Structure 1
Amino acid sequence: MKNIIPGIITLCFVLFSTAAYSQVAEVESPDGKLQLSVDIESGNPVYSVTYNGQTMLEDSPLGLTTNEGDFTTGMSFTESSTGNVEKAYTQAKIKQSFIRYRANSLKCTFSNADKKQISVLFQVSNNDIAFRYELPMWGDTKAIVVKSEATGFRFPDKTKSFLSYMMRPMEGFARTSPSYESGYQANVSMYENQSPEGYVFPGLFRINDNGWVLLSETGVRSLYCASHLSSFKDGVYTVEYPNPGQNNSFGSTGAQIGLPGVTPWRTITVGGTLKPIVETTIPWDVVEPLYEPSQDYQYGRSTWSWIIWQDNSMNYADQVKYINLAAAMDYEYILIDAWWDTNIGYEKMEELIRYAEDKGVGVFLWYNSNGSANDAFQTPLNKMNTSIARKKEMKWLKKMGVKGLKVDFLGGDKQETMRLYENILSDANDHGLMVNFHGATLPRGWERMYPNFVGAEAVLASEMLVFVQDVREKEAFYASLHPFMRNTVGSMEFGGVILNKYLNKGNKEGQKRLTTDIFQLATGILFQNPIQFFALTPNNLTDLPEFEVEFMRNIPTTWDETRFIDGFPGKYSVLARRNGNKWYIAGINAEKEVKKLDLKLPMLAGQEVSFYNDKKDGSPSMATVTIPENGEFSVNIQPNGGFILKQQ
């Protein structure tokens, strides 16, 4: 009897443990390295992730709360099914032009206490996980509001984070925040991530010495709100919906969807090194185009007076100078910024557009998105925020031969604002217009979803270099983060390559640039956007070395392939990009000491290349060098400097 009782106790404990915690299903990547497990823990659905046998995410919560039921607790497993996904597609606007996607899928269905079901669909490819919630009809219920998500990410202890703050709503210039233009916490303990508003996507995490994880979302459109990461609470980051104060407190903070319906995809990119982080295409792999392009949109380079010459340049004479600059540089476009309707006027603008056309230069025009969401006052105003006004304006733009729009001041992630983004894009496509967004949210798969979308800012970009000394001092630091974070999940319209010594029209004193010329040229390769609004000025044609002018005259903006070469976020970054048959290798150094790198460049092995680098005093140089047959090449990068290898 004495031996039987302990056995009964042990058996009861095992049965209790099994009931409290049971594994539901597993799925792994095609190469078997990335594994995801789904479990039920005391009625709470959770998932975990390993890579090469190392834990990358511990048990992390799943679930939604809706106005028709709670799907976060008291859940039971119903069924699961597996499958595979294969597709190939082309995309000219991202880091790679041809993509082949292969993934294994797992669909887990759960029931809540009211017997209502919800499913989670996981797609696991090599180095990437994408998952979303799928909601069926519940009886006669065909419309619901999703109030919040329990979706979370629980990393192993001692994980280090690289995150950018979510801005507080209705603050900053003309109460236009949030606009994804904040600084970063880089390589810090998760316990320091206590921002009250949380952090924007994407978020990057270093899992001890075991690898890296990048979190983001994709597939957000008019049918849902965009989301972000919470601060670090109780050992986990969760998906948070927009602050109710966004959009001047108008519009729901959740999502109104019809049933059956789906959420956007949450994405997790995992790697033992930073290579999968930089090279991922998951934001576009799991989405599809929403409409056909109305024409064959052409991408390229643009001049832009406002960034250096500012508001005073918004006059006819100065815009002629920038059209002439675009023509001299063989650029495809000019961007004419705010106040053109007031300072130049519609009648003279028609004349200016014809002048640009005669020079072979297409025109982008700036518009304020606002009518009632914030206090932004620059004009044209009240042209993009309503369907009637928007279509009338776009009819005129099409008649004049304008090629595209830059739409500004879209502060917020509510579903109400996502509808405005989609409406502007859809109407613009009907009129043959490309659209770039400024003062905007992160693009979430939009390059593939919207054929006429040509980029968004959503970063602490070039204008802040002009306005803020602290940003100038941290320019190299921020630039070394973008290839691993912001720019790896979406096109980034930075508006850079500033070659004036001072960031103003006089170029003699004032806001001094603290990075080298070669650093600036390198960012033209490191930063990816299908149309680049470069910060060149007319004086650059004569005050720069000819090799710099020629480099900028021939710089591409679309890429067929992107490869990670070397780097560490916040310290230095080296990427290789291919346009056609020509490779460009670009790197920058954000550290205070000279960085010596021994690079492996098999794509350039045995070839003669143009080598752009900084001298010890920071002045630019260009030479022709031959890469050894083994593809190994050593380079010294000066502090706040850069280098480029360009295939001849």
Structure 2
Amino acid sequence: MLNHFFVFRVLISLWFMSLPSIATSKSAIYQAVSPNKNTRIEITVNEHKALAYRVWLANEPVLNWSALGFELNGVAVGQTTVVKKQRTSQHTESFAWRLGETDVIHNHYNELTLDCVSGSVTYQLVARVFDGSVAFRYVLPKQTSTNTGLIRQEHTTFSLPGAFTIYQYNEESVFTPTTVSDLQKTCDFPATLTNGTLFLSIGEADNTSYTKAVLAKGTTPTTLAVAFRKDSVRVEGACQTPWRTVSVATSAIGLHAFSDLFLRLCSPSAEPIPDWIKPGKLIRSSLTTQGGLNCIDFAASHGLQYVLFDAGWYGAEFKTISDPTQVIPAIDMPKVIAYGKSKNVGVILYVNRVALRTRLDEILPLYKKWGVAGLKFGFVDGLTQEGISWLPSAIKKAYDYGFILDIHDNYKPTGLSRTYPNLLTQEGIRGNENNPDAFHNTVLPFTRFLAGAADYTFCYPNTNRYFTDNLYKSKLQVSKGQQLALSVVYFSPLQAIFWYGNPTDYNDEGEIEFFKRVPTVWNESHYLAGEPGQFISVARRQGNVWYVGSAAGLADWSGNLPLSFLASGKRYQATIYEDDGAGSIQKRMADIGAGDSFPVSLKAKGGQALIIEEKR
């Protein structure tokens, strides 16, 4: 249900943008173009004296004239606007990023800044134009009349050039493809839309002190509007809103070019990424000493870097009487941590929001003394301004103490890992523990994963049983081959592989050996083929070895994958892990080269994973 602030925004938008697609011939148009001259944003004060923008790709409209602005202390900022000054600049940068999908991130854009006045409010509209993307935000300097205020709603809209379908979802829900004209619910950022010709991703970056915003149906059948999820935004002194982003591609897989956009829009860390920030894979332990020791042995022999003690290791997670400084008697934590260090396996501890909000400053130095490698924040508040504003300082404190970090539940990334690289991953996704189907799995690469890393918590079944854990009631809805493939397709520097697995129950080494080898960060990545909800194939390289994951949706998929990412003139051996038709994994070999195409034929809900190495 939309809140009353959304109703207020609709009334305001109807008044000051009643003809959003029209700008008079006398209106000045301010613009910025991308470095390759193919993407353009235009901004004007229209005939209603309201600030508006539109976006072009190769001289074709991506967005028609759309509203800009927000409501601050009863003033509709964006109305009765006067542009006092414009400034333009160019930015060319490339930076190393060893925790991502590629070694180097290129950050090239042209920037336009407009100094504006609406009534008593002075502000800036800052727009950046990348090849294929635009981003804009509102910047409020310290006002002369007051240092505090309340942003009750944004008036930002996205006026689409015709009928589009949106892949609607909220936090950890399923995806529901819906025509924008029929949209009844809100949709989270990043939101993916298509009209069959263009694919759009509307997102958010650098949210450090705002509330959670969502997309809602606008005032016309082809318009989306920003709405606040739960509360308003309190402003004290100078502030800036998160970036609103629009990326466009002519294919679904083309959207992957913008999966690092949110990193590009955030401030870099004050220092290079320290060596103690180590990506890796983990297994979740039962809450016993022997369970921890068994997991460490399994991790050491199966290429995993971490063991996680999840909720319950210090008592009931939501009870205030549970003490995060005291381990339950069933776990000898010093013994487990020491044993892990002897095997080069780190221990990660879960801490719930109840304890985090009251005892963070106490537990961080204590866990450092214990020798803990990382933390998992549980049930953080990613929905309100207060909860979102709390997180950056908590992330930085964890960084200062040398802990890698995973944030779970409704929080989703907006690029803060560039500022705080210890934030390796987060949830904000309907993960494997919820038994999502193959449609969901093949929509995720084109939606949630465009915002950044996600902890999907793989629930790979063991060979003796599926799961006896009382939290897991039914079998997976996809094949084992798809599980293997998605560990390549889905990006997360910290990857939970065996979420419900008991290490003593995995006795088929040939079936799980792919997980032993697959990395979690990459030197190079290519989306080879894909359509949302139908199929996906991704190739990634670490060092001299390539990994390819391919997954089918709810229908069979056959095709030929280009191998042009391989070095020309060389021959390679592909080790292929795929479903055997009997519920297990079979392995075969193939000789391939850059000039070849690789045939793939997957049954519905199935998958295939490849390891490709140069022949010697």
- Shorter-normalised TM range: 0.7 to 0.9
Deviations along 1:378-427, whole A, 9 cap, x unmatched?
A: xxxx2x103xx212111110001100111111234222101321232122
Letter aligned with residue 74 of structure 1: T
| Structure 1 residue aligned with 2:55 | 49
1:536-551, aligned counterparts within 5 Å?
A: 537-538=501-502, 542-544=506-508, 546-551=509-514
| Structure 1 residue aligned with 2:175 | 184
Compared CA separation, residues 366 and 542, structure 1 to 2 (3 A): closer
2:409 to 434, 439, 461: 439
- Residue aligned with 1:447, SS: coil
- Residue aligned with 1:523, SS: helix
Letter aligned with residue 277 of structure 1: L
- d(CA) in 2 for partners of 1:185, 1:385: 35
Give aligned-pair identity as a percent: 23
Letter aligned with residue 227 of structure 1: A
TM-score, structure 1 as length reference: 0.83
**What's the offset of the Cα at 1:542?**
4.6
The answer as to whether partners of 1:269 and 1:276 remain within 8 angstroms in 2 is no
Q: Which runs of 5+ in 1 are unaligned?
A: 1-16, 166-179, 245-252, 306-312, 371-381, 466-470
Higher helix fraction (1 or 2) = 1
2:101 to 83, 95, 100: 95
- d(CA) in 1 for partners of 2:94, 2:26: 39
- Residue aligned with 1:394, SS: helix
Letter aligned with residue 390 of structure 1: L
2:154 to 149, 154, 159: 149
* Residue 194 (1) aligns with residue 172 (2): no
The answer as to whether partners of 1:21 and 1:40 remain within 8 angstroms in 2 is no
- Residue aligned with 2:78, SS: coil
* Residue 287 (1) aligns with residue 292 (2): no
1:560-639, aligned counterparts within 5 Å?
A: 560-592=523-555, 594-604=556-566, 606-617=571-582, 619-639=584-604
**What's the offset of the Cα at 1:84?**
0.9
* Residue 239 (1) aligns with residue 202 (2): no
Deviates most, 390-399 or 23-32: 23-32
Deviations along 1:274-333, whole A, 9 cap, x unmatched?
A: 24311212101121135546763111111113xxxxxxx322232222222212213211
Deviates most, 449-458 or 230-239: 230-239
Letter aligned with residue 385 of structure 1: R
| Structure 2 residue aligned with 1:173 | none
1:316-355, aligned counterparts within 5 Å?
A: 316-342=289-315, 344-345=328-329, 348-355=332-339
- Residue aligned with 1:424, SS: helix
* Residue 556 (1) aligns with residue 535 (2): no
- d(CA) in 1 for partners of 2:579, 2:23: 63
1:110-509, aligned counterparts within 5 Å?
A: 110-114=116-120, 116-139=121-144, 141-165=146-170, 180-186=171-177, 188-195=178-185, 198-209=186-197, 211-221=198-208, 223-235=209-221, 236-244=223-231, 253-259=232-238, 261-280=239-258, 281-292=260-271, 296-305=276-285, 313-342=286-315, 344-345=328-329, 348-370=332-354, 382=355, 384-386=356-358, 389-465=359-435, 471=436, 474=437, 476-496=438-458, 498-500=460-462, 503-505=466-468
- Residue aligned with 1:603, SS: coil
Letter aligned with residue 608 of structure 2: F
Compared CA separation, residues 44 and 540, structure 1 to 2 (3 A): farther
Deviations along 1:492-544, whole A, 9 cap, x unmatched?
A: 0111151337642379x951223211111011111111111212634577543
The answer as to whether partners of 2:127 and 2:135 remain within 8 angstroms in 1 is yes
Compared CA separation, residues 47 and 207, structure 1 to 2 (3 A): farther
Task: Give me the CA root mean square deviation.
Answer: 2.4
**What's the offset of the Cα at 1:192?**
2.4
The answer as to whether partners of 1:279 and 1:564 remain within 8 angstroms in 2 is no
**What's the offset of the Cα at 1:346?**
9.4
Aligned length: 571
- d(CA) in 1 for partners of 2:118, 2:469: 67
Compared CA separation, residues 315 and 615, structure 1 to 2 (3 A): closer
**What's the offset of the Cα at 1:234?**
2.6
* Residue 40 (1) aligns with residue 20 (2): no
Letter aligned with residue 304 of structure 1: R
- d(CA) in 1 for partners of 2:606, 2:518: 19
Compared CA separation, residues 347 and 459, structure 1 to 2 (3 A): closer
The answer as to whether partners of 1:94 and 1:490 remain within 8 angstroms in 2 is no
1:4-15, aligned counterparts within 5 Å?
A: none
**What's the offset of the Cα at 1:582?**
1.8
**What's the offset of the Cα at 1:140?**
5.2
- d(CA) in 1 for partners of 2:522, 2:62: 31
**What's the offset of the Cα at 1:227?**
1.8
- Residue aligned with 1:448, SS: coil
- d(CA) in 2 for partners of 1:68, 1:143: 13
Compared CA separation, residues 118 and 559, structure 1 to 2 (3 A): same
Deviations along 1:314-360, whole A, 9 cap, x unmatched?
A: 22232222222212213211001111124734982222222222232
Letter aligned with residue 189 of structure 1: T
The answer as to whether partners of 2:461 and 2:467 remain within 8 angstroms in 1 is no
Letter aligned with residue 266 of structure 1: R
- Residue aligned with 1:421, SS: helix
Compared CA separation, residues 157 and 75, structure 1 to 2 (3 A): same
The answer as to whether partners of 1:497 and 1:524 remain within 8 angstroms in 2 is no
Compared CA separation, residues 522 and 255, structure 1 to 2 (3 A): farther
- Residue aligned with 2:51, SS: strand
**What's the offset of the Cα at 1:99?**
1.0
- d(CA) in 2 for partners of 1:32, 1:631: 34
* Residue 107 (1) aligns with residue 85 (2): no
- d(CA) in 2 for partners of 1:113, 1:357: 62
The answer as to whether partners of 2:518 and 2:547 remain within 8 angstroms in 1 is no
- d(CA) in 1 for partners of 2:74, 2:343: 60
**What's the offset of the Cα at 1:232?**
4.5
TM-score, structure 2 as length reference: 0.87
- d(CA) in 2 for partners of 1:510, 1:266: 40
**What's the offset of the Cα at 1:258?**
2.0
